[in-house]
Amino acid sequence: MKAYLTRRYMISASHRLHSDELSPEQNNEIFGKCNNPHGHGHNYMIEVTVSGQVDARTGMVCNLMDLDRVVGKEIVERYDHQNLNLLPEFERNVPTTENLCIAVYDILERGIRFAHLDKVRIEETMMNSFEYAG
């Protein structure tokens, strides 16, 4: 029997949406106020969905403490209260929430060994959320 578990984590981070490959006018046209040279911040809600067989002994897909440990160490510690533009994964990529979603998924795919990583969903604002499933 395959079951799914989704767990939520919160981080606060800042970013500036800007591409060095575009002119200042193009950056302003594409990213608007999100291209502010001083950046802006979000309180991101990250949902991590894993799946697997329900363990007959524990009744769980995975131990929440194991999931919290990996996500806390690999994601929350890495991104919380950071300027995303200054992190290596955004050296050449615009730190959009789409790209953040992909980065989080890639990190967790390498780190979660006790269940299957199905997807990562990030809510940037009440109106915007993004998902990536590999």
DSSP state of 54: P
Residue with tokens 């194991």: 66
Q: In the annotation, is 81 catalytic?
A: yes
Rounded Cα distance between 31 and 21, Å, is: 13
Among candidate residues 34, 47, 98, 116, the one labeled active-site is 34
Q: In the annotation, is 62 catalytic?
A: no
Return all residues near 21 (Cβ < 8 A) that are at least 6 apart.
Answer: none
Q: In the annotation, is 34 catalytic?
A: yes
DSSP state of 123: E
Among candidate residues 47, 89, 98, 124, the one labeled active-site is 124
Three-state DSSP at 76 gives helix
Among candidate residues 29, 81, 109, 131, the one labeled active-site is 81
Take residue 19 and report the two structure tokens written for it. Answer: 């591409």
Show which residues are catalytic.
34, 81, 124
